[in-house]
């Protein structure tokens, strides 16, 4: 709020040439508190006013007056704003008390729909660490969208179609053991899939066998369909165990195969609009004007490709949900694919094509290399989660063996550690898999945040804090850093969603917890003077921290 007030006053003083939005974009938060709470640099005004930035700052500072400002001081080419700490502290605590978990919410997404394509593992393959990113980034974005007023539709678009399933069917015919597959489906199917690729390097005819079996699957051959359905059902059963552990749910789980009998309509639509051209026997949509290679719609042997299915799925989703945004949370290696999809939809004169957005993310790396199922080089998410929970359990036994609900707390801490390790990184960056870093219970981790909340809850319990008796008038300069962080939460929610970057919330929560821990270490919170007001600050901290972690998909135990 104070940034908006400052931007409004400055734009009024500077004149119509300088919009409030432009002024707002320049406002900074000083790195050192001695330089104030907000700062406005005057350097870009020098040319217009034909004066030095320092002189402009000296002229503007005395004219900035508001109840929220304690003072405005020129400093070189900057105006440093010191905010009215007692007024803003009271305002902030009162707002959190009134709004509770709704604090930080927005309504700019009201009456709008967001469809999220997320997770999307392939059947008959293990749910690896590589799939974690789409799942938790997509889940966090859905939570943020809802916090901003949107209605969301989370779709798990299962990879259950394509030439790789022809290869799997061919591998099953050669080496499949029904009894072993029934008892341990995913590892056994992965084993024969890996073997197929290993042997195909020596015997290229196997690739042709894979194509043959995919053609049979497309033609609804009874044997191919029967085994494909078996593989799919067994896979979904295993995936759901992972989703339950992560606390991730979907509004719709649908495989690519759902669109198998609907793609002809898309191909017809492309043909009617004069977009299909022949290319060495294949059917493509040329994208020369966009500087992109052609989008392959049908291969020369008549089989479809995933671009055809994605186009069909996008059209179906708009017809079903009339979305305002369709977010595809998919790795950055698919950037070209989604550029092609978006341009083909635009060529069909579909006005909503501009609302289709690829939310790309970096890879989960192992020793600097991409994980790959076909090469047998993967780390199973199930095993990582199990180890994280076990380590959390060990830590609890060491530090608090009398804790009630140890199993549940260990699950919340262990799973939270894995999720946070991913989400604290900018989604566009690659993440190096490190079990050691992920499970460190100190530093920039979820357990650090969860423990800060447990510490706050302990204070509230010890003091028998009752929200109805809360006081909000707190005159404590040491609390100001915490208050400022609490005031940032609504802005960080907005920025995290509009930038499609949950790491902004993760990094914010770390700053909030560090500010609180510093206050906790340097202040006798339970001393009688201003006790109830300080406890309200502790309560407000806990509300915001827990809500921020919830947005990331992480539970917060009351005791650890």
Q: What is the CA radius of gyration of the chain?
A: 28
Tell me, rounded to whole angstroms, the distance of Cα 284 from its chain centroid: 34
- What does the pLDDT read at residue 371? 63
- What does the pLDDT read at residue 373? 52
- What phi and psi, each to the nearest 5 degrees, are found at residue 306? -65, -20
CATH 1.10.730.10-classified regions of the chain: 381-551
Tell me, rounded to whole angstroms, the distance of Cα 446 from its chain centroid: 15
- What does the pLDDT read at residue 306? 85
- Reduce the secondary structure of 195-250 to three states and give it as a string: HHHHHHCCCCHHHHHHHHHHHHHHCCCHHHHHHHHHHHHHHHHHHHHHHHHHCCCC
Strands (DSSP E) found in 58-210:
69-75, 78-83, 113-118, 151-158
Per DSSP bridges, beta strands 78-83 and 38-41 are antiparallel
| 218 close to 160: Cβ distance less than 8 angstroms | no
- What phi and psi, each to the nearest 5 degrees, are found at residue 286? -80, 140
Residue 485's nearest CA partner among 544, 442, 533 is 544
User: How would DSSP label each residue in 414-476?
Assistant: HHHHHHHHHHTS-TTS-EE--HHHHT--SSSSHHHHHHHHHHHHHHHHHTT--GGG-------
CATH 3.30.1360.70-classified regions of the chain: 2-83
Q: CB-side exposure of 158: number of CA atoms within 13 Å?
A: 23
CATH label, 381-551, candidates 1.10.260.40, 2.40.100.10, 3.40.50.300, 1.10.730.10: 1.10.730.10
List % helix, strand, coil for the chain (3-state, nearest 5).
60, 15, 30
Tens of pLDDT along the chain (560 residues)? 899 999 999 999 999 899 999 999 999 999 998 999 999 999 999 999 999 999 999 999 999 999 999 999 999 999 999 999 999 999 999 999 999 999 999 999 999 999 999 999 999 888 888 789 999 999 999 999 999 999 999 999 999 988 889 999 999 999 999 999 998 898 899 899 999 999 999 999 999 999 999 889 988 899 999 999 999 999 999 999 999 999 999 999 999 999 988 999 999 999 999 999 999 999 999 999 999 999 999 988 777 788 999 999 999 999 999 999 999 999 999 999 999 999 999 999 999 999 999 999 999 887 777 765 555 556 789 989 999 999 999 989 998 999 999 999 999 999 999 999 999 999 999 998 887 777 776 789 999 999 999 999 999 999 999 988 899 999 999 999 999 999 999 999 999 999 999 999 999 999 999 999 999 999 999 998 899 999 999 999 999 999 999 999 999 999 98
Domain spanning 2-83 has what CATH number? 3.30.1360.70
């Amino acid at each position: 709020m104070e940034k908006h007030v400052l931007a409004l006053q400055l734009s009024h003083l500077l004149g119509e040439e300088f919009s409030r939005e432009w002024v707002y974009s320049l406002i900074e938060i000083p790195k050192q508190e001695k330089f104030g709470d907000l700062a406005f640099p005057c350097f870009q005004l020098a040319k217009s006013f034909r004066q030095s930035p320092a002189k402009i700052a000296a002229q503007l500072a005395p004219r900035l007056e508001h109840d929220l400002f304690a003072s405005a001081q020129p400093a070189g080419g900057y105006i440093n704003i010191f905010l009215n700490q007692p007024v803003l502290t009271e305002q902030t605590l009162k707002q959190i008390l009134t709004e509770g978990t709704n604090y930080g919410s927005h309504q700019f997404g009201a009456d709008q729909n967001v469809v999220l394509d997320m997770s999307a593992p392939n059947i008959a393959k293990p749910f690896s660490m590589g799939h974690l990113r789409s799942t938790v980034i997509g889940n966090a974005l859905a939570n943020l969208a809802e916090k901003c007023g949107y209605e969301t539709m989370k779709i798990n678009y299962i990879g259950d179609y394509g030439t790789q399933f022809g290869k799997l069917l061919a591998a099953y015919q050669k080496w499949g053991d029904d009894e072993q597959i029934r008892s341990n489906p995913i590892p056994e199917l992965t084993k024969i899939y890996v073997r197929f690729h290993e042997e195909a390097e020596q015997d290229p005819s196997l690739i042709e066998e894979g194509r043959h079996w995919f053609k049979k699957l497309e033609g609804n051959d009874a044997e191919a369909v029967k085994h494909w359905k078996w593989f799919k059902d067994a896979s979904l059963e295993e995936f759901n165990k992972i989703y339950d552990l992560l606390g991730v749910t979907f509004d719709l789980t649908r495989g690519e195969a759902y669109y198998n009998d609907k793609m002809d309509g898309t191909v017809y639509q492309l043909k009617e609009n004069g977009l299909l051209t022949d290319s060495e026997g294949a059917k493509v949509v040329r994208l020369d004007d966009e500087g992109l290679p052609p989008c392959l719609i049908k291969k020369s042997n008549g089989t479809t490709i995933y671009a055809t299915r994605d186009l069909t799925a996008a059209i179906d989703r708009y017809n079903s949900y009339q979305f305002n945004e369709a977010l595809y949370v998919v790795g950055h290696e698919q950037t070209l694919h989604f550029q092609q999809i978006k341009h083909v939809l635009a060529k069909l004169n579909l006005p909503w094509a501009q609302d289709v957005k690829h939310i790309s993310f970096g890879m989960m790396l192992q020793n600097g290399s991409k994980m790959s199922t076909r090469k047998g080089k993967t780390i199973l998410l199930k095993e990582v989660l199990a180890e994280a929970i076990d380590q959390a359990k060990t830590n609890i036994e060491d530090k608090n063996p009398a804790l009630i609900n140890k199993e549940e707390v260990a699950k919340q801490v262990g799973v939270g550690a894995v999720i946070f390790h991913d989400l604290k990184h900018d989604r566009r960056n690659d993440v190096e898999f490190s079990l050691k870093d992920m499970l460190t219970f100190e530093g920039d981790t979820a357990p650090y945040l969860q423990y800060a909340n447990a510490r706050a809850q302990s204070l509230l319990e010890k003091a028998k804090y009752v929200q109805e008796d809360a006081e909000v008038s707190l005159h404590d300069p040491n609390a100001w850093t915490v208050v400022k962080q609490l005031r940032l939460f609504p802005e960080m929610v907005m920025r995290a969603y509009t930038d499609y970057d949950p790491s902004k919330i993760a990094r914010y929560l770390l700053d909030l917890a560090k500010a609180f821990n510093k206050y906790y270490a340097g202040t006798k919170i339970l001393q009688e003077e201003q006790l109830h007001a300080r406890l309200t600050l502790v309560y407000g901290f806990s509300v915001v921290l827990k809500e921020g972690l919830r947005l990331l998909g992480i539970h917060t135990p009351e005791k650890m």
